[in-house]
């Protein structure tokens, strides 16, 4: 009886299987890296575009308010230069709505406008509808208050200044309901002035003048803002419970990362020296996401 040899079946050897697995793992690693890189690029681009949109909206709103600013010798201005965030308040003919009864739905032709950074590091705008009747209060909630002077004095009565006539409103901590968050990402506000002689200054007048003089010496207000998205803020140094950002008594890194404006240079020139990336102590991941913007808002000649 004859025996026929058994048929041999083709198969991968153990070494070939191991090589195939290694190649597959390498391909998966490469694909994962590509996906992660693409995702990171997309997220960063989205953050950048979102910051651009915030900045454009903020500057467009400011441009309207500044264009309508009431520039008269008999009204006050409060442009507060301070360590850290600046703040500003002024009268403007930009439209606003009265908040006091009975005219809550009536539209005013003049308003008290302000910009500040609140305790949550968000940019707020004040828009308080006023009247022109010259008294601190009115049936519709308030009025433009004109500067008055004691006989023979060049110093106005405190009650006729913005701070004196609106003591609970013209502060960085006021709870006035006419403040509204304009941007929850803009956390830093700084300004300086371009004067009519072409110089840049932190004071709104040309020496030897020492008074605002109805802003007649100012050709443009230079406003700079810094924006940091909410997810990047989470890695900024916080307190022991990781619940709130460190306050000024512990040198808040987000604020100190960008120095104050100096006369002779625009704010962006001061901020673009890279200080916030090297010396502030701000985590590199957060510092890399800070977006800074600046605009020269030119005042009309009215």
Sheet holding 200-201: strands in order across? 200-201, 186-195, 218-227, 291-298
pLDDT given at position 102: 47
**Sign, CA torsion 240/246/114/227:** negative
Asked whether residue 101 carries a pLDDT value surpassing 50, the answer given is: no
Q: Does pTM surpass 0.85? A: no
pLDDT given at position 192: 95
Residue that wins the pLDDT comparison between 90 and 3 = 90
Nearest to 224 by CA among 112, 88, 96, 95: 88
pLDDT digit string (tens) for 248-278?
A: 444 467 787 888 999 999 999 888 876 666 6
pLDDT given at position 112: 93
pLDDT band at 4 (very low <50, low <70, confident <90, very high): low
pLDDT digit string (tens) for 174-197?
A: 999 999 999 999 999 999 999 999
Domain assignments of the chain as residue spans, ordered by start: 56-298
Asked whether residue 279 carries a pLDDT value surpassing 90, the answer given is: no
pLDDT given at position 188: 94
């Amino acid at each position: 009886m004859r025996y026929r040899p058994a048929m041999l079946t083709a198969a991968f050897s153990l070494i070939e299987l191991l090589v195939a697995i290694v190649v597959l793992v390498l391909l998966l690693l490469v694909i994962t890296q590509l996906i992660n890189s693409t995702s990171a690029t997309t997220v960063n681009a989205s953050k950048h575009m979102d910051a651009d949109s915030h900045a454009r909206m903020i500057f467009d709103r400011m441009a309207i308010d500044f264009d309508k600013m009431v520039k008269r010798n008999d009204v006050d201005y409060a442009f507060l230069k301070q360590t850290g965030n600046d703040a500003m308040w002024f009268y403007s003919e930009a439209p606003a709505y009265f908040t006091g009864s009975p005219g809550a739905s009536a539209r005013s032709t003049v308003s008290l406008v302000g910009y500040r950074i609140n305790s949550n590091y968000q940019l707020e705008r004040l828009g308080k509808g006023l009247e022109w009747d010259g008294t601190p209060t009115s049936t519709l909630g308030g009025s433009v208050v004109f500067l008055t002077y004691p006989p023979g004095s060049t110093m106005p009565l405190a009650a006729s200044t913005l701070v004196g006539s609106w003591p609970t409103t013209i502060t960085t901590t006021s709870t006035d309901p006419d403040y509204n968050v304009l941007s929850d990402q803009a956390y830093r506000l700084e300004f300086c002035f371009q004067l009519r002689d072409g110089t840049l200054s932190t004071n709104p007048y040309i020496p030897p003048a020492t008074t605002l003089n109805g802003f007649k010496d100012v050709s443009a207000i230079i406003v700079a803002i810094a924006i940091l998205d909410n997810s990047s803020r989470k890695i900024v140094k916080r307190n022991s419970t990781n619940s709130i950002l460190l306050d000024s008594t512990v040198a808040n890194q987000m604020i100190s990362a960008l120095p104050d404006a100096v006369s002779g240079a625009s704010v962006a020139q001061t901020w673009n020296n890279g200080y916030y990336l090297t010396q502030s102590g701000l985590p590199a991941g957060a510092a890399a996401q800070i977006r800074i913007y600046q605009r020269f808002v030119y005042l009309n000649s009215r």
